């Protein structure tokens, strides 16, 4: 019998796996609808991504991406309509050009290129949406926390 006044040593706990924080800027007309389809179809995917609905991927400012990293995001995803299927005709072409330069800027300042991603997901691609999020979360877990651009608090 043990004495209740004695303290017992507890087994050391394993370090918790890092759960990445992802900000996902999603086109209202395609990617956001694709995420809705994944939900109503009950397709399982990690809940690590915070969706931010935008009218068009072309309206995502480079400042939005930098701000997300500054506020602690481990990864940022910008996703819109497939090229040629944009609700606003050329918005995703503008996004592709603008965000390519953002990717180069992030690489220049030393952030791993895998932390920023673009994808094209239509409203009918709920399975693809779940796969893109799952792959991104897996890759962010492998990279660990993003500390390069995170503001000191």
CATH number at residue 45: 3.40.50
* In the predicted structure, residue 9 carries a pLDDT above the cut 70: no
Task: Tell me, yes or no, whether 151 lies in a domain.
Answer: no
- Tell me the pLDDT band of 146, cut-offs 50, 70 and 90: very high
Task: Tell me, yes or no, whether 148 lies in a domain.
Answer: no
Task: Tell me, yes or no, whether 53 lies in a domain.
Answer: yes
What percent of the chain shows pLDDT beyond 70?
89
Task: Tell me, yes or no, whether 36 lies in a domain.
Answer: yes
Task: Tell me, yes or no, whether 149 lies in a domain.
Answer: no
Mean local confidence (pLDDT), 11-37:
86
Taking only the tens place, the pLDDT of each residue in 57-71 is 999 999 999 999 999
User: Which residue, 146, 124, 140, is CA-closest to 38?
Assistant: 124
Task: Tell me, yes or no, whether 15 lies in a domain.
Answer: no
Cα–Cα distance for residue pair 91/80, rounded to 1 Å: 9
Total domains, the chain:
1
Taking only the tens place, the pLDDT of each residue in 87-111 is 999 998 999 999 999 999 999 999 9
Buried/exposed code over 119-152 (b: 16+ C-beta within 10 A; e: otherwise): bbbbbebbebbbbbbbebbebbeeeeebeebeee
pTM of this structure: 0.86
Domain span at 126: 22-142
Determine the pLDDT at residue 14: 47
Taking only the tens place, the pLDDT of each residue in 104-134 is 999 999 999 999 999 999 999 999 999 999 9
The two structure tokens encoding residue 90 = 């050329």
Task: Tell me, yes or no, whether 63 lies in a domain.
Answer: yes
Task: Tell me, yes or no, whether 13 lies in a domain.
Answer: no
């Amino acid at each position: 019998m043990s004495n209740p006044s004695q303290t017992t040593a507890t087994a050391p706990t394993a370090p918790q796996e890092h759960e990445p924080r992802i900000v996902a800027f999603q086109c209202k007309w395609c990617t956001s609808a694709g995420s809705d389809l994944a939900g109503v179809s009950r397709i399982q995917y990690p809940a690590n991504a915070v969706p931010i609905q935008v009218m068009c991927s072309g309206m995502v400012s480079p400042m939005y991406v930098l701000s997300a990293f500054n506020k602690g995001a481990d990864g940022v995803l910008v996703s819109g309509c497939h090229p040629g299927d944009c609700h606003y005709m050329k918005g995703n072409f503008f996004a592709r050009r603008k965000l390519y330069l953002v990717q180069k800027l992030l690489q220049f300042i030393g952030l791993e290129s895998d932390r920023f991603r673009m994808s094209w997901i239509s409203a009918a691609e709920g399975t693809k949406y779940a796969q893109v999020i799952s792959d991104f979360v897996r890759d962010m877990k492998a990279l660990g926390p993003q500390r390069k651009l995170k503001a000191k608090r």
